[in-house]
A = this chain, B = another copy of it.
């Protein structure tokens, strides 16, 4: 009942389903470590808006941090209702095909408008950006490896991280291939007589 939340709401709710209580700030940090790589890490302001909505609907409960200084620090926890609705969503909502916004592919499409060197540089810079991202994600993956009490708690986050790492690796290989094609193809396939 009362379905129809945006996916990002369920995503944030999902991040609260690992058994701990987080502040809005911490939830944002967690989404930077997870959602960022395969969904969207919402802006701080959005996280607070979403927590407000989830609280209203009783999917999370807010506990004002006693020992609070002046401004109240709130910790949010998923409720039994929240878990139920999340499970319900996972079980019934149609699963969309992934949506990709890939500015590099878009620019490569328009390669006929710029000189090959610009395209080559763009692809090389993309490889660097990819390496950085990969490093970030590897750090996340490493932190999921060694887990305390429950070794299965992060089993699925591990899989998702491995998926991401594999994607970055495939992307790297293909972009190297594309650089070859941009620089090589149509450039004197065999020396003209």
Contacts and interface: CB of A to CB of B under 8 A. Distances in A.
A7 interface: yes
Contacts of A126: 95
Interface stretch (A20-28, A42-50, A56-64, A160-168): A160-168
Nearest to A151: B186
A89 to B, nearest CB: 9
A101 B99 contact: yes
A53 interface: no
Nearest to A178: B159
Chain A's interface: helix, strand, loop or mixed, by majority?
Answer: helix
Contacts of A156: 108-112
B113 A39 contact: no
Given A97-B133, A110-B156, A111-B159, A102 B181 contact: no
25 contacts: A34-B109, A35-B106, A38-B100, A39-B105, A40-B101, A83-B113, A87-B113, A90-B110, A90-B114, A95-B107, A95-B126, A96-B103, A97-B133, A98-B104, A98-B105, A100-B100, A100-B101, A105-B160, A108-B160, A109-B156, A109-B157, A112-B153, A112-B155, A163-B178, A170-B170
